Amino acid sequence: MTLDDAVVARHTVKAFEPGHTLPQDKIETLLNVLQNSPSSVNSQPWHFVVAATAQGREAMAKSTTGAFVYNEPKVLNASHVIALCIRSDIDDKHLQNILAQEQKDGRFVAEGAQAGQDKSRRSYVDMHRYEQRDLPQWMEKQVYLALGGLLLGAAMLGIDATPMEGFDQRALDLSLGLREKGLTSVVLVSLGVRSDKDFNAALPKSRLPRDEIFTFI
């Protein structure tokens, strides 16, 4: 699948065929995409909960009731459902954890590189915490980058996917025990095999024309 083919072929799947389990090697590739997703100052302010069993999907589906019930079958009938979460804070423990990982991975070659990286990262975190006061939104932006990678990656692998903001975040946080872990959910992605009822597959893509969305200077 070429990149051009993948971006046109991918669409939001509206119905999955139950009973299909995606090959584990493809899931591993998508986990690799998520793990290697870029983030501002390498802050990696995320966690990904992967439901690969009926029990896991049912736990996720506790958040697709009421106004969000239209998304329930997309959760229950998928092969895998991934909840992309942000941390409730970028605390000192997390900052030290990232720095230690960078050290372990051999990122600090030059003298003073480690201290410089730590200082720079902390200055960005402080700016978002105290001046812009948008730390959760800043973390969400990083998670949405990971979402983009995941959707494109799935398309390249020929995997059907549905991104979903249509779920009750509080219900999901409670169902998965996220808040006790210092996390909160942002967006869900179902992955699987689309069914004949996926009406979106037959519809043409609709995007604003290039002359409206690009300016070349």
Q: Distance (Å, rounded) from C-alpha 119 to C-alpha 69?
A: 46
Beta carbon of residue 108, minimum distance to ligand FMN (angstroms, whole number): 36
Residue 197 designated active-site: no
166 is a contact residue toward ligand FMN (CB under 6 A):
yes
Q: Distance (Å, rounded) from C-alpha 62 to C-alpha 95?
A: 33
Beta carbon of residue 80, minimum distance to ligand FMN (angstroms, whole number): 17
The stretch near ligand FMN (CB under 6 A) out of 8-16, 78-86, 118-126, 191-199 is 8-16
For residue 24, give the amino acid letter: Q
Residue 165 designated active-site: yes
200 is a contact residue toward ligand FMN (CB under 6 A):
yes
12 is a contact residue toward ligand FMN (CB under 6 A):
yes
Looking at residue 187, the DSSP 8-state letter turns out to be E
Q: Which of 28, 58, 119, 165 is catalytic?
A: 165
194 is a contact residue toward ligand FMN (CB under 6 A):
no
Order of all β-strands in the sheet with 46-51 = 46-51, 80-87, 183-192, 160-164
Beta carbon of residue 178, minimum distance to ligand FMN (angstroms, whole number): 19
Half-sphere exposure of 105 (CA within 13 A, CB side): 7
Residue 181 designated active-site: no
Half-sphere exposure of 33 (CA within 13 A, CB side): 23
Strand pairing class (160-164; 183-192): antiparallel
Site for ligand FMN in 30-89 (CB under 6 A): 71
Interface residue with ligand FMN among 119, 133, 170, 205 (CB under 6 A) is 205
Beta carbon of residue 85, minimum distance to ligand FMN (angstroms, whole number): 14
Q: Distance (Å, rounded) from C-alpha 52 to C-alpha 190?
A: 10
Beta carbon of residue 191, minimum distance to ligand FMN (angstroms, whole number): 14
Per DSSP, the residues of 140-164 read: HHHHHHHHHHHHHHHHHTT-EEEEE
Interface residue with ligand FMN among 163, 173, 178, 189 (CB under 6 A) is 163
Give the interface with ligand FMN as residue ranges (CB under 6 A).
Answer: 11-12, 14, 71, 162-166, 187, 200, 205
> Which positions are annotated as active-site residues?
14, 74, 165
